[in-house]
Structure 1
Amino acid sequence: MFDPIKFIKETQIELKKVTWPTRQRAVKLTQVVIIVSLIVSFYLGILDIMFGRLIGLLVK
């Protein structure tokens, strides 16, 4: 059966083993994620416009 107290204790033990990133590293990785997300969204937006126009030409 599930024992919530045991679960919490085990979770605390495991979290003590975690190597947390420094603030500087976390900020740098966040910037990378934002930049990559913007690039991918721009690329997908261009593809969406192109395919939308192509479908529009084919439907006419």
Structure 2
Amino acid sequence: QIEAYTTVGGTPFLDNEYTVYGEVTEGMDVVDKIQQVATNAADRPEEDVIIKKVVVL
């Protein structure tokens, strides 16, 4: 994934709009909990999901 990103390049026009790519290296249990959150008809969480900390490698 990282090789493709560095080879092809980023997409700055998507900044602050979409996640370009990501990979979970630890904490998959947290991802599973987020995935379990109830969503509405627009596929938005019924309650806000707040990410308090992210580490970029």
Greater relative contact order, per chain length (Cα 8 Å cut-off, separation 6+) = 2
Q: TM-score range by the shorter chain?
A: under 0.3
Larger Rg: 1
Instruction: Report the TM-score, using the length of structure 1 for normalisation.
Output: 0.25
The answer to which structure has the higher helix fraction is 1
